[in-house]
Every structure is written in structure tokens, then in C-alpha cells.
């Protein structure tokens, strides 16, 4: 896999294969009072202080790509990244998927809290893995409100060249596969399937905590020159609902179960997980001619440029 491909997008399978071979007045002018975008300032410091002495915003989980998988009333508390956090992120290696995800998770750990309907506070580990990028760009919007936008250029059919900013209003999410909808259980926020072989399975997109456990497993296996089972790593995280972690030994036990799985179950699960695409699919903007212009989700100047200003020398030098 080329370095250029790493800069353009985050592909976990690419990563696996490669490893085998915070700010003042953050409430000002953020969303111009647009109630419909699911974003509101936490006006009461008393409420915010239950989480931290910093100012947070409240993000409705229903606006997230995986919003339907959170229990009703769950809120995401978000704040801007501070200088120290940006400094740490600046050392990200654009060519290393693991390092990119790790640095993103460090930002999420600092800037994200989860508030449950019963008032309990959770962490970024409870966030669905496929919501990571959306929240990273939300934090970026809070952090850089006076400009410093990331954008890509794309030509419209009419000949106009559009500048599409990497902002929430330009994101298109993957839509839920029509074949999955009837199997969604509102109580458990997961999919429930009965197969022709008599087996029953519950699947749901994994959260960040669980994915981190599997990433640690991949690294350990790789360090010890063992080749992980890629189909296992693809499917099993979706089969562990409500888990935020699993031990190395626990993963090994699940691997044994997976390897003894019958063919009908494997074929079905492999196909079902393929259908569970959520997150940001692409970018779009409406041209002056009225045409919607679409382009792939990508990171101009690499993933490091999300929080590190690419042309800071030219932008900030006093001439």
C-alpha cells in the first residue's frame, strides 16, 4: 500500500495487511443557531461542571452516523481541542494507520464524554467505531472557528471547480442497507438474525473500546510473527454487543469458536457484516448550476492536517 493511499483515507484492512507484510469563546458563531443540526451549547456551567471545568457542547447522538445504535437520551459532550492536545497530535505518522487511529483516539479521550439517560458519564470508548471520524471533524470545527478549513477541489459537470470543505454539512453517510432494517431490535439496538441452520446471532457495530482490544491483539500477533485470521477480525467485533473491551485470551477463545463455525453461519455473517457500513461515505456540495458534486472522503495533506495547519509558516509569518 502506498503512502499516498494512507493519506487519502483510513482503511482498516489496509492497516492489518500493512502490519502483517482544547480555547476561548468556543460558543461564538459555531452553528448560527441552526437547531436542526443537533448541536447546542451547554449554557449551564453547572451541568458542564459535572463533567469537567471546561466548556462542552452537547451533540445529539441521532446526528451521528451510528446514531440508531445508542440508547435514547444518550448525549455526546464535546469540546474544542487545546494547544497541548494539538501538539501531541502533530506527531502523527501519516503512513501508519495504527498511529493515526491512536492519535485520533487521544483527541477523543480528551474532548469527548458520553452522558447516559440515567446521568452516568461514559468515555470515548463507548463511541461506535464508525462515528470516530465524524466526531474528530466536529472537534476540528470547534477548534478552528475562524478559518483554517480543510477542503478538496472537484469539478462539476458544468465545468465549475468547487471547493468542498471537510465540514459536517458536506458529509454524506452510508445508508442502512434495506435488507437489514427488519431485523433491527429497538430494545437492544442491534440486529437479531435466525438462520436456516437453527443458529441465532446478534450483531451490532463495535465501539472504539472493543476495536482497541482487537488492535492490540493484531499488534501482538504481528510482533510474534503470527498471521491473524482476517475474516475473524472482520466479523467477530460485530458479534460482541455491549462490550467495550475483551482480553487477549478472550479473543483467542473467540477465535477457536470462529474456526469451528459451520459454513452456513460463516457465509451469512460475512455477508451481514459487509452490509453494516456506516460512517462518512463521501463529500458533496451543490454547484451554482444546481448539480450535486460528490467526491471521496479523504484527508488533504494527510491525516495530520486535521489539526496541524499545513501552511502555518506562510499563514503566520509577519511580513
DSSP H helices, 228-303, are 230-235, 248-259, 263-275
For 288, phi then psi, to 5°, come to -60, -30
Per-residue pLDDT of the chain (319 residues; tens, 9 = 90+): 444 444 444 444 554 444 444 333 333 333 333 333 444 333 333 443 444 445 889 988 999 999 999 999 999 999 999 999 999 999 999 999 899 999 999 999 999 999 999 989 999 999 999 999 999 999 999 998 877 788 999 999 999 999 999 999 999 999 999 999 999 999 999 999 999 999 999 999 999 999 999 999 999 999 999 998 999 999 999 999 989 999 999 999 999 999 999 999 999 999 999 999 999 999 999 999 999 999 999 888 888 889 987 777 776 778 7
Residue that is written with C-alpha cell 483516539 in the block: 105
Q: What length is written for the chain? A: 319
CA 225 to chain centre: 29
Determine if residue 167 is left, alpha or beta; phi over 0 gives left, psi from -120 to 50 gives alpha, anything else beta.
beta
- In angstroms, the CA 103 to CA 181 distance is 34
Q: What is the pLDDT of residue 82?
A: 93
> Per the structure block, which three cell numbers stand in for 107?
483527541
Judge whether 270 and 235 are in contact, CB under 8 Å. yes
> Per the structure block, which three cell numbers stand in for 302?
494527510
Judge whether 81 and 67 are in contact, CB under 8 Å. no
Judge whether 123 and 77 are in contact, CB under 8 Å. no
Amino acid at each position: 500500500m502506498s503512502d499516498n493511499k494512507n493519506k487519502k483515507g483510513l482503511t482498516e484492512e489496509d492497516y492489518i495487511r500493512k502490519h502483517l507484510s482544547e480555547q476561548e469563546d468556543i460558543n461564538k458563531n459555531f452553528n448560527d443557531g441552526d437547531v436542526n443540526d443537533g448541536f447546542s451549547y451547554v449554557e449551564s456551567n453547572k451541568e458542564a461542571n459535572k463533567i469537567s471545568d471546561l466548556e462542552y457542547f452537547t451533540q445529539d447522538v441521532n446526528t451521528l452516523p451510528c446514531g440508531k445504535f445508542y440508547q435514547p437520551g444518550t448525549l455526546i459532550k464535546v469540546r474544542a481541542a487545546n494547544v497541548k492536545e494539538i501538539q501531541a497530535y502533530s506527531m502523527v505518522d501519516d503512513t501508519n494507520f495504527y498511529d493515526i487511529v491512536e492519535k485520533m483516539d487521544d483527541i477523543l479521550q480528551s474532548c469527548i464524554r458520553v452522558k447516559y439517560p440515567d446521568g452516568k458519564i461514559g468515555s470515548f470508548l463507548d463511541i461506535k467505531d464508525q462515528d470516530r471520524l465524524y466526531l474528530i471533524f466536529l472537534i476540528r470545527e470547534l477548534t478552528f472557528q475562524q478559518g483554517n478549513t480543510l477542503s478538496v477541489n472537484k469539478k462539476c459537470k458544468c465545468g465549475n471547480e468547487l471547493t468542498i470543505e471537510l465540514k459536517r454539512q458536506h458529509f454524506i453517510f452510508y445508508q442502512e442497507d434495506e435488507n437489514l432494517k427488519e431485523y433491527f431490535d429497538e430494545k437492544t439496538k442491534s440486529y437479531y438474525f435466525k438462520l436456516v441452520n437453527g443458529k441465532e446471532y446478534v450483531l451490532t457495530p463495535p465501539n472504539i473500546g472493543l476495536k482497541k482490544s482487537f488492535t492490540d491483539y493484531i499488534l501482538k500477533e504481528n510482533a510474534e510473527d503470527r498471521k491473524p485470521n482476517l475474516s475473524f477480525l472482520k466479523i467477530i467485533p460485530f458479534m460482541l454487543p455491549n462490550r467495550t473491551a475483551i482480553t487477549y485470551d478472550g479473543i483467542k477463545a473467540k477465535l477457536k469458536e470462529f474456526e469451528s463455525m459451520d459454513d452456513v453461519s460463516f457465509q451469512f455473517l460475512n455477508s451481514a457484516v459487509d452490509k453494516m457500513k456506516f460512517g462518512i461515505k463521501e463529500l458533496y456540495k451543490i454547484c451554482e448550476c444546481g448539480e450535486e458534486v460528490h467526491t471521496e472522503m479523504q484527508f488533504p495533506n494527510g491525516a495530520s492536517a486535521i489539526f496541524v495547519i499545513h501552511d502555518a509558516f506562510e499563514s503566520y509569518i509577519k511580513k
